[in-house]
Amino acid sequence: MSTPPSAEPPAIELDAPAAPTLPASRGVRVGYLIAGLAFTALGIIGAFLPLMPTTIFLILAAGCFGRSSPRLEAWLLNHPRFGPSVRAWRANGAIPRKAKVFACLGMAGGMAVFLLAARPKPWLGLLVGAIMAGCAAFVVSRPTPPAA
């Protein structure tokens, strides 16, 4: 027996964002909320301290808030200073050109401080340098967000 055409399930829109589903367990939601608040605090600290990232912590915070508090997620996504970077990452995995430059300069500065302060053995210096170069290559390879 065949199914009548009117009984077929409706087509799913691929462009529509999925409705956020909160975890059923209150404990899991509280855990995500605490993690989101901690990531937000680290992101705000990073806005004032050189060599400490800001955007990655806020991206993580938005993800945690999306699973715990839609109100805090909306606050972060609509924040005038931090929201555009988080939204660009969510939409396209994009990093603004200025942020790429600062991230790479921060990694280079961090590497220089590591080499001068720790005076690591050559193999360790090369290993850390290779990891930093890989991170820099990832940052540079991300698309730039479209102009608003």
Around 44, how many Cα atoms within 13 Å sit in the side-chain half-sphere?
7
Return the structure tokens found at 12: 């799913």
Burial class (CB in 10 A: 0-12, 13-18, 19+), 143: exposed
pTM: 0.69
Tens digits of residue pLDDT in 110-148: 899 999 999 999 999 999 999 999 999 999 999 988 876
Tens digits of residue pLDDT in 87-108: 988 888 888 888 889 889 888 9
Averaged pLDDT of the chain: 83
The answer to whether 146 touches 93, Cβ cutoff 8 Å, is: no
Cβ within 8 Å of residue 99, ≥6 positions away = 55, 85
Return the structure tokens found at 134: 């890989």
The continuous run of DSSP H or E covering 146 comes out as none
Asked if pLDDT for residue 37 goes beyond 70, the answer is yes
Asked if pLDDT for residue 78 goes beyond 90, the answer is yes
- Can you list the alpha helix ranges (DSSP code H) found in the chain? 26-48, 55-66, 70-77, 83-92, 97-118, 122-141
Which residue type occupies 86? V
**Residue at token pair 């955007």:** 55
Distance in Å from the first CA to the final CA of the chain: 53
The answer to whether 82 touches 43, Cβ cutoff 8 Å, is: yes
**Other beta carbons within 10 Å of 136:** 18
